[in-house]
Amino acid sequence: MNDAKYIGLDVHQATISATVLDSTGKLVMESIDALLLLHQQARRELLAESRKHNTTQLLRQIPSIGPIRAALLLALIQTPHRFRTKRQLWSYSGLALETRNSGEYRIVHGQLKRSKKVVAIRGLNKNHNHDLKNIFKGAAIRAAAVAGPFQEFYAALVAKGMKPAMARLTLARKIAAITLIVWKKGVHFDAAHLKQRAA
């Protein structure tokens, strides 16, 4: 008798759970639909605002920098004159290599001498703008996959024996450097920028 009683409770609890899940599922789906509408509206407003600036058209000429990336670059960087060199932009974007050196100097025969130890590379800098890093890394991933001058540059790096991850980092740094050149000087994108030593 007790088993039948518990089985009846389990069935009843399962029915209650199913109705609760149905109503919860409906609420979740309604929330997702509302968020999708907000996302589309925010995207339209972002693109409308970015069209007001001439810089957007210059940035969009760079392969793998589309309308959204151009608008985000414009919003995040605001002015290219914040960065005197491409290395400053790399550092701000999280694309700069971080090196550490301990024991740079040592005492030899009572004289202070510079140590000949190789500087250790510790990876990319941690203090950076994460959104900007995502923009340049995303652009590099796209550029490496789509036919064009950046894909040729990426393929040449891999052909030289560079690991694909390092080649994508180099490509992201190259895209950042070209973005700075195009935006700062107000010039159009030229594939000759790839030939300059920028990474």
Tens of pLDDT, residues 166-192: 999 999 999 999 999 999 999 998 887
Using the predicted structure, report yes or no on whether residue 160 has a pLDDT greater than 50.
yes
Q: What pLDDT, on the 0 to 100 scale, is given for residue 198?
A: 43
pLDDT band for 20, please (50, 70, 90 cuts): low
- 144 and 168 in contact (C-beta within 8 Å)? yes
User: pTM value?
Assistant: 0.75
Tens of pLDDT, residues 126-149: 888 999 999 999 999 999 999 989
Half-sphere exposure of 92 (CA within 13 A, CB side): 16
DSSP letters for 4-46: HHHHHHHHHHHHHHHHHHHHHHHHHHHHHHHHHHHHHHHHHHH
DSSP class of residue 54 equals H
Using the predicted structure, report yes or no on whether residue 17 has a pLDDT greater than 70.
no
Between 115 and 76, residue with greater pLDDT: 76
* Angle ∠(65,67,73) on CA atoms, nearest 5: 65
Using the predicted structure, report yes or no on whether residue 199 has a pLDDT greater than 50.
no
